[in-house]
Copies of this chain bind each other. A is one copy, B any other.
Amino acid sequence: MRYLKASDIDFLAIGAAVLGSGGGGDPYLGKLMAKEAILEKGDVRLIDVNEVPDEELVIPSAMMGAPSVMLEKLPNGKEPEAAFRAVESFFGKKAYATMSIEAGGINSCIPVYTAARLGLPLVDVDGMGRAFPEIPMVTFSLGGVKASPMVVCDEKGNKVVLETINNAWIETLSRTVTVAMGLSSMIGLYVMDGKTLKEFGVRGTISLAIEIGHRIISAHKRKESPVDSILEVTKGYRLFEGKVTDVQRDLTTGFVRGKAHFEGIDRYRGTGFRLDFQNENLVGMLDGKPCAMVPDLITVLDRETGSPITTEHLRYGQRVMIIGMPCAPIWRTEKGLAQVGPRYFKYDIDYEPIEELMKRRAS
């Protein structure tokens, strides 16, 4: 157990955004919310998964939709609590802790906000070890845990409780409700007991994110590149260096779907890179050939500062370093790949681990 202070939130937000693979939302807003709540209510206890008693409930807290929209349609600050309490009241039992459903700027900070506001501990775990665009894409799903009952709240004060027969219906109904609410919402879902969490959670995601963030900010202070340091702690690879030549985005489905094109610089001069995304980066192609793909992590970093750039903040002319990192092992199982592999996202390619792709590229 340790305490999360307001100063940790900068590390958490930036580190989680590296793990967020371009998604998980712009850290800015989540960071403000989490820091403000800690300053007002006190430091948040970060507990290990093993500290959660088997029979106690944990309720994850998150935002859903297009984070770019949330920057203009600001939360009122009561939605995460409203969603959390509505899930609790559904079960007629108080929750022991909250947790993060995914690693990513906003969705690592929202649970800190909820934990601080409600005086609950935050569990050092998440359900992805990265960010993913759809609700059922959590390791808990592989263990048969249901997202239902799920509560969706908006900043206007509307609240929707969904009880569905499976996670696909949760995705369909919560997405359609979030789109109708104006493309963003705060949610509570995937309630589970400590026993289940121990079995299926991706452990240590919060402390890993803080460690990554700490390395980035320290390197920045020393005026060094943090890239090697990030690759060391995440076991990742350099994929490409270049500048953004084009970005296409479409928000109408409730996701940020699109493609970004890059032109190589320095030792990548003369080559081109294409990155496809759906909230998160899905597949990176170097000169038309896949060089990293879901569920492995692909993150775009600012070439000067090493700060992660989310898919929503990619802009023409940015000079970037693109890195790839291996995903949590559970995603590489047959069940895991069926749920979040390239074919799920309609790519006609078989998954190849980033380690293999890099080995082939080197030879």
19 interchain pairs, CB-CB under 8 A: A156-B165, A157-B164, A158-B162, A158-B164, A158-B169, A158-B173, A159-B162, A159-B163, A160-B160, A160-B161, A160-B162, A160-B163, A160-B173, A160-B177, A161-B161, A161-B163, A173-B177, A173-B181, A177-B177
Residues of B within 8 A of A186 (CB): none
Chain B residues with CB under 8 A of A161: 160-163
Asked if A163 and B158 sit within 8 Å, CB to CB, the answer is yes
**How far apart are the CA atoms of A165 and B176 in the complex, in Å?**
18
Residues of B within 8 A of A122 (CB): none
Identical subunits present: 2
Distance of A82 Cα from B162 Cα, bound (Å): 13
A338 at the interface (CB under 8 A from B): no
Q: Is A39 an interface residue (CB 8 A)?
A: no
| Contact, CB under 8 Å: A165 / B158 | yes
Could you give, for residues 135-150 of chain A, a 1 whenever the CB lies within 8 Å of some chain B CB and a 0 otherwise?
0000000000000000
Is A179 positioned at the interface, with any CB of B under 8 Å from its CB?
yes
Q: For residue A172, which residue of chain B has the nearest CB?
A: B180
A153 and chain B: residue at smallest CB distance: B163
A residues within 8 Å of B by Cβ? 156-165, 169, 172-173, 176-177, 179-181
Q: Smallest CB-CB separation from A160: which chain B residue?
A: B162
Identify A179's interface contact among B157, B158, B164, B176, CB under 8 A: B176
Closest 5 CB pairs of A and B: A161-B161, A176-B180, A159-B163, A157-B165, A158-B164
A164: nearest residue on chain B (CB-CB)?
A: B158
Nearest Cβ on chain B to A245's Cβ, whole angstroms:
38
A254 to nearest B CB, angstroms? 11
Given contacts A160-B160, A176-B177, 5 further A-B contacts (CB under 8 A): A158-B164, A158-B169, A160-B162, A160-B173, A176-B176
How near does chain B come to A171, taking the closest CB pair, in angstroms? 10
Set of chain B residues within 8 Å of A162, measured between Cβ atoms: 158-161
Q: Select from chain B the residue with minimum beta-carbon distance to A177.
A: B173
> Residues of B contacting A158 with CB < 8 Å?
162-165, 169, 173
Residues of B within 8 A of A179 (CB): 176
Q: Which residues of B contact A176 (CB under 8 A)?
A: 176-177, 179-180
A160 to B163, CA, bound (A): 6
Residues of B within 8 A of A159 (CB): 162-164
Q: What separation, in Å, do the CA atoms of A162 and B163 have in the docked complex?
A: 12
**A135 vs chain B, min Cβ distance (A):** 14
Minimal beta-carbon separation of A329 from chain B (angstroms): 33
Q: How distant is the Cα of A120 from the Cα of B153 in the complex, in angstroms?
A: 34
Which residues from B are CB-within-8-Å of A172?
180
Given the complex of chains A and B, what is the CA–CA distance between A153 and B177 in angstroms?
15
Q: In the complex the two chains form, what is the Cα distance from A180 to B176 in whole Å? A: 7
Closest CB-CB distance, A319 to chain B, in whole Å?
A: 42
What is the CB-to-nearest-CB distance from A233 to chain B, in angstroms, rounded to a whole number?
Answer: 42
User: What is the bound-complex CA distance between A180 and B162, given in angstroms?
Assistant: 13
Q: Considering residues A160, A164, A176, A177, which has the most beta carbons from chain B within 10 angstroms of its beta carbon? A: A160
